[in-house]
Structures are given as structure tokens and as C-alpha cells.
Structure 1
Amino acid sequence: MFALLSLVGCSDGGNGTAPATSPSSAATTAGPASARIVIENFTFSPADLQVRPGVKITVVNRDSVPHTVTATGDKTTFDTGNITGGATVTFTVPSTTGSYSYICTIHPNMKGTLTVR
């Protein structure tokens, strides 16, 4: 009887007493895969945004009038077209690193800078 109790005491009985493990997650330095610009009260927020190449940016127009997010200068690489009041659009950031100034072509006093790095 003693021998039988000794064997039972050493058995885990299939109850999974092995230490718990969790899958390892690889750390990434790629940064977020998306970003957001909110248009409200005729301003871009944030006005200066830093992102990685190829990131998707969602633009939310909280004003009641249309706006655009349009690159200016030599780097006219993105243009959302008219975003009606209350609408949301998405565009992809250029794959070339650098600083991209942008405006609302309807209200050119609205300005921002997109830095791709």
C-alpha cells in the first residue's frame, strides 16, 4: 500500500502541473501602422505629424465644410481631394522619407507638416 501511495504522490495525474508558458512576442520598432489627422475649427490636429513610410493616415473632418489634405511644393505626393463635413478618408504616406508640407486647398491658411522617417 505504501508503494502505491508513493507512486500516486509522484504522478501529476495529467493535471498539467508544468510551468505555464506564453508565446513570445517580437518587439517591433516599426511604429504604428496607422495615424490620424483631425480637422476641426479650420485647423489640422496634429499640425505636425511624424510617421513611417507607407503608414495609412485617417483624416477626420469634424467641420461642417469641406477640406483637403494636399501636399505642396515639389513633393505633391498626396491629395485627399474634398473631404465633406463629417466625413473620413484614408490615404497612404509616401514611401520616400522627408518632410512634406501640406495645406487645405480650399482654405490655404490651414497648414501642416508630415515628416516621414
Structure 2
Amino acid sequence: MRPRARAVAAVLLGATLAACSVSVGGPGPGPSGSAPATPVTPAASRPSATAPSPGAVAIGDFVFEPADLTVRPGAVVTVRNTDPVDHTLTAQDRSFDTGTIAPGASATFTAPAQPGAYAYLCTLHHFMRGILTVS
């Protein structure tokens, strides 16, 4: 992995994990109307059968990083464009699409619910390709 891509991936992963580690407990009644008896574990360290796993892709130097990403069904994937031109991340079967992402901006999409391998590309630069594996 190139140093710049590695740094971008590390920043995106850190931001994703930081966003996921916010405690959902706190004062006040819980969902059942009573206060929780024990502290709530942060979401980032708590396994869940229903919570989708996060994913992140950085676009830089006209490359998706990582080009091949594996996520759980329904995961929210964040795509950050660090290039000086517009890009998209679009499934070839159109099952997901970020739309156009401006330079310095980010977008999200939800991974398909059906497990499988989904080829994707940038519709503005067809040589930019990758695979999203849902498992």
C-alpha cells in the first residue's frame, strides 16, 4: 500500500471507529422504560448479529483503496475522494452508487443485503475498478 493511501485509510478507519465507539447508554430510562443496570459497551467492541459492519474506501491517485473490500450485509460504506477531480463508486449492476463525489468530499452507500461479490467502478473513469464482497 502506498504511504499516502495508507495514511488516508488509517484516518478513515480511525474516524469510522471513533464514530462507532460512542456510548449508547447514559442517564435516563433505557428502551424498556427502566434505567440500565450495567454500563453499555461501546458499539465498536460489542459483537452484534444485526448491526452492520462499517467499511471505508478512499479514492486517491485515481485508485480505490482498498479496491477489494469485504463487509457484512447492510453495512454502511463511506467513500472519501482525496483526488482533485470528481469520482463515483458505482456497482456494475447498479445495486449501489455514491453519485458524484466532489474533490475533498465523501459519500456513503449501503451494501446489498444479499451476500456475494459486487464489481464496482468509477463511472467517470472506467479504469478505476474494485470488488465489494458481502459476507
Q: Which category of TM-score, normalised to the shorter sequence, fits these structures?
A: 0.7 to 0.9
Give me the TM-score of the superposition, normalised by structure 1: 0.72
Residues paired across the two proteins, number: 94
Q: Shift of the alpha carbon at 1:33?
A: 3.0
Give the match for residue 62 of structure 1: 82
Structure with the higher fraction of residues in helix conformation:
2
Q: Which has the higher contact order (CA 8 A, sep 6+)?
A: 1
1:40-84 C-alpha deviation (Å, 9 max, x unpaired): 000000000000001000000000100000101xx3201111101
Give the match for residue 50 of structure 1: 70
Give the match for residue 12 of structure 1: none
Query: Identity rate of aligned residues, in percent?
Result: 48
CA distance in 1: counterparts of 2:134 and 2:61, whole angstroms: 26
Give me the TM-score of the superposition, normalised by structure 2: 0.63
| Structure 2 gap ranges (5+) | 1-37
Distance 1:63 1:99, change over 3 A: same
Q: What is the root-mean-square deviation in Å for CA atoms of aligned residues?
A: 2.1
Post-superposition, which runs of at least 4 consecutive aligned residues in structure 1 deviate over 4 A? 22-27, 29-32
| Structure 1 gap ranges (5+) | 1-21
